A and B are shown apart, each in its own frame.
Chain A
Amino acid sequence: MRFAFFAASMAVCLGTVAAFVMTRYGHFRGKTALSSMVTAPLVMPEVITGLSLLLLFVQMAQLIGWPADRGMATIWIAHTTFCSAYVAVVVAARLREVDRSIEEAAMDLGSPPVKTFFFVTLPVIAPALAAGWLLAFTLSLDDLVIASFVSGPRDNTLPMVVFSSVRMGVSPKINALATLIILTVSLATLLAWYFMRRSEAKRQSVIQQGEEA
């Protein structure tokens, strides 16, 4: 759980910056390189990503002595890297839809780019950020292959435990776990749906009031 939380948060930062750079910065040197590195993790088979990252960590440990132990930090880095690609795609889609004239208006009124980004762009793309975070969180929570490669001998993530017992065959424990997961997800979805409906209804009534007035 903790792994997934931190990885998703970092992935949102990284992915958003990447998406912003790709959609707003026009042309710059290294753009092709960046865009291939943003899109490739989407489809890269997990065994390749996992193996290559493990080899990187091993070499780093030999050269600079860090990470001395594989575990939390290495899983975090690995998950951030592959999740940020998904975030970038979600956020870039939203950034393209956003009306750029409001950003330009803010800048014309003398707001520096950083301030414009935080006070104008960020609130507008907030739903996409939330969606991206949720996506990254589930991806990270669910990942077995990459975590198996880069984790140390002591750290076991939930999918690793599930996998080793599923491999042995049917076990009632896993059935119980599955029931719990499905219950949680259905509950969360129902709640999300309810809130979405309510805010939609509110918006409708505001629009109606506006029309009547």
Chain B
Amino acid sequence: MMPSRIAGLIKRMHLGRRAVIAFPLVWLTLFFLLPFALVLKISLSESAIAIPPYGPLLEYADQTLNIFLNLGNYLFLLSDSLYAAAYWGSIKTAFVATVVCLLIGYPMAYAMARAPGRLQLILLLLVMLPSWTSFLIRVYAWMGILSNSGLINNLLMGLGVIDSPLRMMNTQFSVIVGIVYAYLPFMVLPLYAHLTRLDNSLLEAASDLGSRKLNTFLKVTLPLSMGGIIAGSMLVFIPAVGEFVIPELLGGPDTLMIGKVLWEEFFLNRDWPVASALAMVMLLLLLIPLVWFHRYQSRELEE
């Protein structure tokens, strides 16, 4: 009797374990993975004037199964140079913004990690504080700062540095400023986490062995914080490629970004298949950065 009871207990434990694993696995499969399959499916269907506005992929009529695979949406993306320009514009903008974020964020994170304990907490709070207020409101504030009659132009004209207002709003510049500002915390926080974990004795060892500060930084600190640099850069770059709100509010007619194009294709033209094809191509382009980020992040989660 004893062995069977123990076996029962073990079985129950396994069942419980499975159930615990299954909960997030099933939820995420259903609401995260499955939707992508549907995007792929609809990107291959024909657009139609109906509700919902796309044609069927499989049709069973007269005892034959018809499969419609419509590559037209993808060909359409290729044929119109607008889309290629939008992808290129997004990647360029996101890349520049990521580099600027890194250049600003690294010294910030470094200074934070070196600050005394109490100050560290306050600085951390200050970095995160803006994220607690509404994102839209912050972008709106930038509209006020950068516009022709905005804060910067008024100040410069008041000081007599310039005669006519600099055009900053609705340009590539304002979009990059907006992205850098909005995503800076995502760069600073992983960098800070890595830099605080840095073992101080390594730095001391380097200086004991006669290494100069710059040399120590380049050969010890920088390689050891590489994980943070990758994580931070991906956290900025990937979402920035698909950003919609910032180019919509701060950008002008010359700032083509794919997130905005997709939004317009979907909401204004109501062309769901083309919007899906746009999303699929964007995913494909982001696949390498995504895998890179995932490899780093899963190491973080599991170690």
Query: CA separation between A21 and B19, bound complex, in Å?
Result: 11
Query: Which residues of the partner chain B approach A185 to less than 8 Å between Cβ atoms?
Result: 129, 132-133
B16, B141, B283: the one contacting A113 at CB < 8 Å is B16
Q: A174 near B: Cβ within 8 Å?
A: yes
The interface-forming segment of B28-36, B98-106, B159-167 is B28-36
Query: Which residues of the partner chain A approach B23 to less than 8 Å between Cβ atoms?
Result: 14, 17
Query: Which residues of the partner chain B approach A206 to less than 8 Å between Cβ atoms?
Result: none
Q: B203 near A: Cβ within 8 Å?
A: no
Q: Looking at chain A's contact residues, is the secondary structure mostly helix, strand, loop, or mixed?
A: helix
Distance from A45 Cβ to chain B, minimum over Cβ atoms (Å): 2
Query: Do A30 and B301 touch across chains, with their CB atoms under 8 A apart?
Result: no
Query: Do A55 and B35 touch across chains, with their CB atoms under 8 A apart?
Result: yes
A35, A36, A55, A84: the one contacting B276 at CB < 8 Å is A55
Distance from B224 Cβ to chain A, minimum over Cβ atoms (Å): 19
Which of B235-262 touch A at CB < 8 Å? 235, 238-239, 241-245, 248-249, 259, 262
Which of B283-303 touch A at CB < 8 Å? 283, 286, 289-290, 293-294, 297-298, 300-303
A-side interface residues toward B, CB under 8 Å?
Answer: 14, 17-23, 25, 28, 30, 32-49, 51-53, 55-56, 58-59, 62, 77-78, 80-81, 84, 88-89, 92, 96, 113-114, 138, 141-142, 144-145, 148-149, 159, 162-163, 166-167, 170, 174, 177-178, 181-182, 185, 188-189, 193
Which of B165-179 touch A at CB < 8 Å? none
Query: Do A51 and B266 touch across chains, with their CB atoms under 8 A apart?
Result: yes
Q: B269 near A: Cβ within 8 Å?
A: no
Query: Do B28 and A23 touch across chains, with their CB atoms under 8 A apart?
Result: no
Query: CA separation between A39 and B24, bound complex, in Å?
Result: 13
Query: Which residues of the partner chain B approach A84 to less than 8 Å between Cβ atoms?
Result: 24, 27
Given the contacts A45-B243, A46-B242, A142-B134, A174 and B249 also touching, CB distance less than 8 Å: no
Given the contacts A18-B24, A58-B52, A51 and B301 also touching, CB distance less than 8 Å: no
